Amino acid sequence: MALIEFEHVFKRYPGSSSAAVDDLNLHIQAGEFLTLLGPSGSGKTSTLMLLAGFEAPSSGTIRLDGASIGSLPPHQRNMGVVFQSYSLFPHMTVAQNVAFPLSVRKVPAAAIAGKVAAALDKVHLQSFAQRKPNQLSGGQQQRVALARALVFEPRLVLMDEPLSALDKKLREEMQLEIRRLHRELGVTMVFVTHDQSEAMTLSDRVAVFNQGRIEQLASPQTLYDAPVNPFVASFLGDNNMIQGSLEPDSRPAGELIRLRTAGGQSLQGRCGDRQKLAGDSSATLCVRPEFLQVAAQGGVPVGHNCLDVTLIDLIQQGDHWRLLARLPGAGGHGGHEEPRWFAKISPGVLPPGLSVGQNLCLGFRPQDAWVF
């Protein structure tokens, strides 16, 4: 049995015409690190608040160990919560902040000091117990918030963008810290972010949210290698897309499918959504920039796709080059956005003498592209 089960959960806020959480079905396994990832307004915080008990579902059921928790107030749910803002009590010391959930839960005073010391030890802040929050760095404050969420040994720790206020370096340090804590304590963690690399660093599984619904729930590797639609492909990792129509003789029977672009080019990719493709002749091909090679026109190996493009920029990014290319037929005079692709090319394989304005071929293997 899953630790947590959301069954057909809806959340509609008063006065709002659309659902913030729209028929959510989600099982969270004991001990896993699950991340809710998605754009702003997609329902991540709402989902977390429903789980923590700070909001009630409009309909549907949330179960903990198989029993509905609809009537349980937050402090009886045994869940530690870390919010986006540090939300420490400014007038209390670090030790008093961490002790707070224990006193609320009527833990005997004699037991509190030991538990606080152990929690501060877990986040490596033993020597900071007597400081006030304003005497700490952002990262240290966030660790106090984490210690406060862990101190009563909750079954679940819920974190809503806990690292978003930190600079990149500190953020990456804290990600490793949270990873370590998850491994050491074996506690179930549900983490909210809209940062895809953070999601990939931390998670056993990631739920990609869009408009109150989960588009795909899978391991980071599966989301990256086998997204179920262009939204997931574009949200996790970089992605190039081109639209076209399926070639009449290319029905989705086999592994590969062929489409013809508006510019008249014929491209092959893996069949992403068989059902949709069977009923629709328009389709989108997606391919990640690291799978693209650059060649002179006509210079790609037999069996590879070749997309004719014009080079519009070439940018050195340290460990790779970023090539920006314009697709044929995209004049840019229509006022709408030009379709552009970009490629990530290792310095060692960048053809010499490339110049802006030059016509090139972007080559890629059919099995590295998806058609949806």
Ligand X SMILES: Nc1ncnc2c1ncn2[C@@H]1O[C@H](COP(=O)(O)OP(=O)(O)OP(=O)(O)O)[C@@H](O)[C@H]1O
Q: How many CB atoms lie within 10 A of CB 261?
A: 18
Shortest separation between residue 209's beta carbon and ligand X, angstroms: 6
Region 267-306 residues binding ligand X, contact defined as CB under 6 A: none
β-strand pairing of 59-64 with 4-11: antiparallel
Distance between CA atoms of 167 and 164, rounded to whole angstroms? 8
What, of ligand X, Mg ion, none, does residue 40 touch, CB below 5 to 8 Å by kind?
ligand X
The two tokens of residue 25 are: 């079905």
Instruction: Supply the minimum distance, in Å, between the C-beta of residue 214 and ligand X.
Output: 12
- Cβ atoms 80, 91 nearer than 8 A: no
Which residue type, as a one-letter code, is found at position 162?
Answer: P
Tell me which residue of 227, 245, 244 sits closest to 236, measured CA to CA. Answer: 227
Is residue 16 involved in binding ligand X (CB under 6 A)? Answer: yes
Member of 4, 5, 9, 20 binding ligand X (CB under 6 A): 20
164 to 203, contacts with ligand X by CB under 6 A?
Answer: 194
Stretch that binds ligand X, among 34-42, 225-233, 235-243, 361-369 (CB under 6 A): 34-42
State the minimum distance, in angstroms, from the CB of residue 41 to ligand X.
Answer: 4
Q: Tell me the residue length of the chain.
A: 372
Strand order in the sheet with 340-345: 293-295, 359-364, 305-316, 321-326, 340-345
CA distance linking residue 292 with residue 285, whole number of Å? 14
- CB closest to Mg ion, residue no: 45
Q: Cβ closer to ligand X: 189 or 345?
A: 189
| Long-range Cβ contact pairs of 327-331 (< 8 A, separation 24 or more) | 327/242, 327/261, 327/263, 328/263, 328/265, 329/262, 329/263
> Of 15-23, 41-49, 116-124, 294-302, which part binds Mg ion (CB under 5 A)?
41-49
45 binds ligand X (CB under 6 A): yes
**Considering CB distances under 5 to 8 angstroms, the limit depending on partner class, which of ligand X, Mg ion, none binds residue 251?**
none
Applying CB under 6 A, what is the total number of residues that bind ligand X? 12
44 binds ligand X (CB under 6 A): yes
Residues 31/186, Cβ–Cβ less than 8 Å = yes
**Please, what is the minimum distance in Å from the beta carbon of residue 45 to Mg ion?**
3
Residues 6+ apart with CB under 8 A from 352: none
Nearer Cβ to ligand X (45/175): 45
Sequence-distant (6+) residues with CB within 8 A of 303 are 365, 366
Partner that binds at residue 194, options Mg ion, ligand X, none, CB closer than 5 to 8 Å by kind: ligand X
Task: Output the smallest distance, CB 88 to ligand X, in A.
Answer: 20
CB of 37 to ligand X, least distance (A): 9
Q: What are phi and psi of 172, to 5 degrees?
A: -70, -35
Task: Report d(CA 58, CA 20) in Å as an integer.
Answer: 10
Is residue 193 involved in binding Mg ion (CB under 5 A)?
A: no
Q: Does 46 bind ligand X (CB under 6 A)?
A: yes
Segment interacting with ligand X, rule: CB under 6 A, options 44-52, 263-271, 273-281, 330-338: 44-52
For residue 80, the one-letter residue type is G
From the list Mg ion, ligand X, none, partner contacted by residue 140 (C-beta under 5 to 8 A by kind): none
Give yes or no for residue 13 binding ligand X (CB under 6 A).
yes
Nearer to ligand X, 8 or 180 (CB): 8
Considering the rule CB under 5 A, would residue 46 count as an interface residue with Mg ion? no
221-249 b/e (C-beta count within 10 Å ≥ 16 → b): eebbeebbbbbbbebbbebbebebebeee
Paired tokens of 188: 């179930």
Radius of gyration of the chain from its Cα atoms, rounded to whole angstroms: 25
* One of 35, 45, 250, 261 touching Mg ion (CB under 5 A): 45
Binding positions for ligand X, rule: CB under 6 A: 13, 16, 20, 38, 40-46, 194
Binding positions for Mg ion, rule: CB under 5 A: 45
